[in-house]
Amino acid sequence: MSDPTSNPTSNPTSDPTSDPTSGSPHPAPARTLYRGGFVYSPVDPFATALLTVDGQIAWIGSDEAAGTHLDGAGEVVELDGALVTPAFVDAHVHLSMTGQALTGVDLSGASSLVDALGLVEAAARQRGGRPLFAHSFDEDAWPERRAPTRSELDRAAYGGVVYAPRVDVHSAVVSSALAAASGARSRAGWQESGLVRGDAHHAVRDAFAAGLSHADRATHRAAALQSAAAAGIGLVHEHGSPQISSEEDLVASVAAGAVGDAPQVFGYWGELVADADAARLLVSRLPIRGLAGDLCVDGSIGSRTACLREPYADVSAGDHRGTAYLSSAEVRDHVVACTQAGTQAGFHVIGDAAADIVVTGLRDATGVLGAPALRAAGHRLEHLEMVDADAIEALAALGVTASVQPAFDAAWGGPMGMYAARLGLGRAVRMNPFATMASMGLPFALGSDSPVTPFDPWAAVSACVNHRTAAQRLSARSAFLAHTRAGWRAAGIDDRGYLAPGQPATLAVWAVGDLVVQAPDRRVQNWSTDPRSGTPGLPDVSPGASRPRSRRTVIRGRTVFEEAGALT
């Protein structure tokens, strides 16, 4: 399905999609001058202007000097105090599911179970029997404290097909019609209430997906990419796997990002391999940077499927420690195979016992290939939420990158949050240890896991700066780097994700209130005076500050998002 000659893994150190002119129906203006704003660039901390030529950044400097670049500029953008940054990189997304969510019934805002069923009923009436994707319920936020049941969905949707995944998408509730169509009843993980986990959930997801047309899926992907562009994101890492999507969907997602009128897309495929030949076959067939991503060692905390050393705190019966889907031997063999095939390996790993499995598997892989080979391959781990200092040290030594989701801490961390409920406060406060990762040299890139949390990169930066565990807070600068440059590095590309001459013109323009400088003690201070009085910095992301508003997103010179009436 894919053209092997365009395989992006053929040269993993370069940006395979950096040619701004290839195959685009929307040519960029040859020369665009931005002036009168603030340009966040390592080459000139006082820059207020930027020139792009033929899809690349040609010059960065002051407004005074910008005058010499007016000649021949096809477009002059008066920034009027706006901030120009590199476009964000979202290192963990699911485009089709995101688009499905954007066009489906969102239960995340429902105030109660009754309210949620009302939303399902309204949508069922409006859509006249079409299958309903009613997503993101969170029973912990409802007074009823329970998920909907199959019979409740049947009543609300007049007997139609309803697929209602929980907010963490590791479990779901289905209507009777979908239960019957999917054969979920005969699979492991089925409950008569209509709650599905594991195999039963996979059967449901597959059956629901099979009911979508090619046109539906293309619409979903386009909606997701447009939403990412509107959030100032220039590159997403799409994580497909045989369990949650399809090869066809992955190929189409990567292709959609290559056209030029949407964020770029790097593909990852979460399929376990046992030897290098199997890895090479997949790498030759799919447009991927690695056999990594949602290759699940375990599940999620919310669904109590994350694999733990000690039992869940809120399950009184028995000794429930979640589920390990892979062994350390399988991890070892996969890592060895991918390393030998010259592609990234990686896993979805959330619980502490799952992290133990991965660390053991990686260490055993060094016994086969040696640590230098593993370090050179640059493997990656998704989520890595319950990792301790010993594991962080081990992973840093093996050149692994963590792909983390700060919005998870914002949504479910803290003393009253879901993590504390599931695990007890003692374990909850040790989760998502970003500052420990930073201090121990474990590189990490930020992502949303959209549709689990929305595309909102400044919210992710803010979640790092205002981490619910004070000891794990990062500076805005560290968090910003983790959401830009580190996202390229996580894909094995070292020299992208910042604004400098010679770089692709992949940038975002933001209306901001106050810009800030980072004080040495990490407290954020307002900076709203003359740029020359301090180091121009990043927007204020402290609690209560207004979020930067996206005005324009440019990818390789082409404007892929423009706020209505913003700059032109």
Name the residues that contact Zn ion, by CB under 5 A. 239, 294, 449
Contact 510, 567 (CB under 8 A): no
Closer to Zn ion by CB, 294 or 409: give it. 294
Please state, as a whole number, how many other Cβ atoms lie within 10 Å of the Cβ of residue 471. 10
Instruction: Return the number of the residue (205 or 239) whose C-beta is nearest Zn ion.
Output: 239
User: CB of residue 270 vs Zn ion: minimum separation in angstroms?
Assistant: 9
DSSP 8-state class, residue 226: H
Bridge-based pairing of strands 233-240 and 88-93 is parallel
- The residue among 15 and 456 lying less far from Zn ion, judged by its C-beta, is 456
Nearer to Zn ion, 44 or 385 (CB): 385
The amino acid that residue 379 corresponds to is: H
Torsion angles phi and psi, residue 558, rounded to 5: -100, 135
- Residue 383 Cβ, how far from Zn ion at the closest point, in Å? 8
CB closer to Zn ion, 382 vs 540: 382
Q: What is the DSSP string of 498-556?
A: S--TTSB--EEEEE-S-EEEE-TTS-EEEE-S-GGGS---EE--STTSPPPEEEEEEET
* 3-class secondary structure, 29: coil
Least Å from the CB of residue 385 to Zn ion: 13
Q: Please, which residue, 98 or 462, has the CB nearer to Zn ion? A: 98
Alpha carbons within 13 angstroms on the beta-carbon side of residue 150 total 16
The residue (of 448 and 478) whose beta carbon lies closer to Zn ion is 448
Choose between 47 and 228: whose C-beta lies nearer to Zn ion: 228
182: tokens are 């999917």
Provide the minimum distance between the beta carbon of 165 and Zn ion in the complex, in angstroms, as a whole number. 12
| Amino acid at the residue 465 | V
SS (H, E, C) 6-36: HCHHHCCCCCCCCCCCCCCCCCCCCEEEEEC
Nearest distance in Å: CB 93, Zn ion: 8
- DSSP-derived secondary structure letter, 490: T
Minimal distance, residue 461 CB to Zn ion, in Å: 20
Q: Which is nearer to Zn ion, 294 or 356 (CB)?
A: 294
Contact 487, 449 (CB under 8 A): no
Q: What's the min distance (Å) between Cβ of 39 and Zn ion?
A: 33
Tell the residue number behind the tokens 């508003």, with chain if given: 549
Q: Tell the smallest beta-carbon distance from residue 67 to Zn ion (Å).
A: 48
Burial 31-54 (b: 16+ CB within 10 A, else e): bbbbbebbbbbeebeebbbbbbbe
- Separation of alpha carbons 205 and 370, rounded Å: 40
Q: How far is the CB of 482 from Zn ion (least distance, A)?
A: 18
Residue closer to Zn ion by CB (options 157, 225) is: 225
- Count Cβ atoms below 10 Å from residue 107 Cβ, excluding itself: 23
Minimum CB separation of residue 239 from Zn ion in Å reads: 5
Least distance in angstroms from the C-beta of 284 to Zn ion: 24
CA distance 102 to 227: 9
Q: Cβ of 220: how many Cβ atoms within 10 Å?
A: 23
Q: Which is nearer to Zn ion, 298 or 449 (CB)?
A: 449
Structure tokens at 431: 């989760």
Identify how many contiguous H helices and E strands the chain contains and give both numbers. Answer: 20, 25
Nearest to Zn ion of 271, 294 (CB atom)? 294
Question: Token match 């007997």: residue?
Answer: 159
**Closest by CA position to 434, among listed 481, 394, 485, 471:** 471
Which of 39, 366, 217 shows the shortest CA–CA distance to 50?
39
What is the distance, to the nearest Å, from the Cα of residue 310 to the centroid of all Cα atoms in its chain?
28
The DSSP bridge pattern shows strands 538-539 and 288-291 to be unpaired
* Cβ proximity to Zn ion, 286 vs 560, nearer residue: 286
Taking the C-alpha atoms of residue 217 and residue 252, their distance in angstroms, rounded to an integer, is 9
Query: What's the min distance (Å) between Cβ of 167 and Zn ion?
Result: 13
**Nearest distance in Å: CB 294, Zn ion:** 4
* Residue of closest CB approach to Zn ion: 294
* Mode of pairing for the β-strands spanning 538-539 and 524-527: unpaired
